[in-house]
Structure 1
């Protein structure tokens, strides 16, 4: 029977029993010595005394536990007072203890997550500050030099104004990327999905960066001659930005006389995988897990010299995640890297691909 009672009820049961026995015994003794002994009167008194004692003790226990636990919750700010209900903390202390421990464990995990976010926030703010102050100080230096008298020299003036203009372009580039990644993370940048030819988009990116790649004698090429279009259903502008960022990275870290090669392969029935491969510097394995973090740089000195906002790969990841797609990285340090990502084929017309190897 004891198993059927919760602990506080068990306590109230035995306490009430002891009180009742004592008071009943006292009443019986009084009746024996000072009045006529009545068994019925004693039994009635026993029942009434027991019920009253049980009720009083149980209510007192409930009030005591609720008040003490509520005070603890208020003091350590584990729960809002309004969320604590009397029926939740009245009787079973073992259950209450488990609930408190469970809640405390949840709060511990939440605090650890907040600490990680705080460290990430500090690192992010430091990176933003560094990225912005470099071009700002550069532009400020050129302008101050011109104000101090260099503006009278036409040759120096034109050179410094051009450099200041490049510094401002870099600032605008960083701010635009920050604005985009903020909108992507907040879910405010909506996709405009449409059907388009992925081959055409990649070729447009090749044409756009033909001069940039030519400076390092890097070839931008397909692995095959894709004679038929491959239709994709996605946001054309955003996917072009993904390919642009990956191609620019391959040029930035590519070796002189190297190659950036793009291939498109069927993955499953309704998916294709786009691979962008280069034979550049490659990435050490320790850096790959953090590669898509904002402002994370594998080679801080080299990447700064090459420019960029430091947000390119983070934007790539967010755009693909917004499409419910994945991006993968494979790299051998000193050999080269391959970035690949999936895309959904067009539902209107499945691509019929006929490819011929280049000679």
Structure 2
């Protein structure tokens, strides 16, 4: 749930991330802000169950709200049956005394509001993206016509003909190939269950990234960025058995790297064999670094870190969410790391995942 929305709804002071916030009706307890050095109420940030409670070193009640992927801690309050806070302190802190059931009811209302918002977002997403189906059909027609034009060029097969054709026609074909591939991802956004449609088949990740790297050639030149594909240990990368949706992984990660790369930098795509039955993929780029508090949130639907918003106006925060869902369907996970050095918030970003290969 959005911090601003929670602030407007809550009449209780709370903690979000590492910061203490006043509510609309009640400021943070002075004992919490001025007299407490430990701030042990924040230990609830490490908990994973909704409505877990903690009595801090000052004797106050603190309770954890899990709303979607967000954690809010209602802090510095006193439940009516609290015996940890001295009677004298209760007398001067009457406005911080609440019935536990009222807090639980507030949590229930917040949950309902969050569910309603997500439902509206999903409906709006389906409505907005459904118009892409007609556009997708039109692009497929243009793509096929371009394919037919290339087939008229001299050569023993299509790929020879593609190499022999004019550079403008080749760039057009690559651009259309990229666009039609990206449009195919819209079905996954509208219907995430389509990630596992169809039978699994053998796909070579090195060949997949090689193909998509070439499709991004025109855009990388325009953005003054070089894309380099590396087989780190030089050993043959075995095929993986995957759903067709795995092809979107290369599209999403390279598009993301290009979108958030500093000019005159290099994007490195590294593949290596972890062992006989697993391959690791790393995508490295120099660009805006994700804040520590949001390194997991960037995989949430529609979430964008402030550094990304300030660097590029493109994107709606859905690509990494799709990528994570695809990898989860393949028993894997996309992780984000950053380099130890940075210059004005620009540094090394690393996205990494591994995948089982066929023995």
Shorter-chain TM range is 0.3 to 0.5
Bigger-Rg structure (1/2): 1
Query: Larger helix proportion, structure 1 or 2?
Result: 1
Q: Please, what TM-score do these two structures have when normalized by structure 2?
A: 0.47
Task: Indicate the structure with greater strand content.
Answer: 2
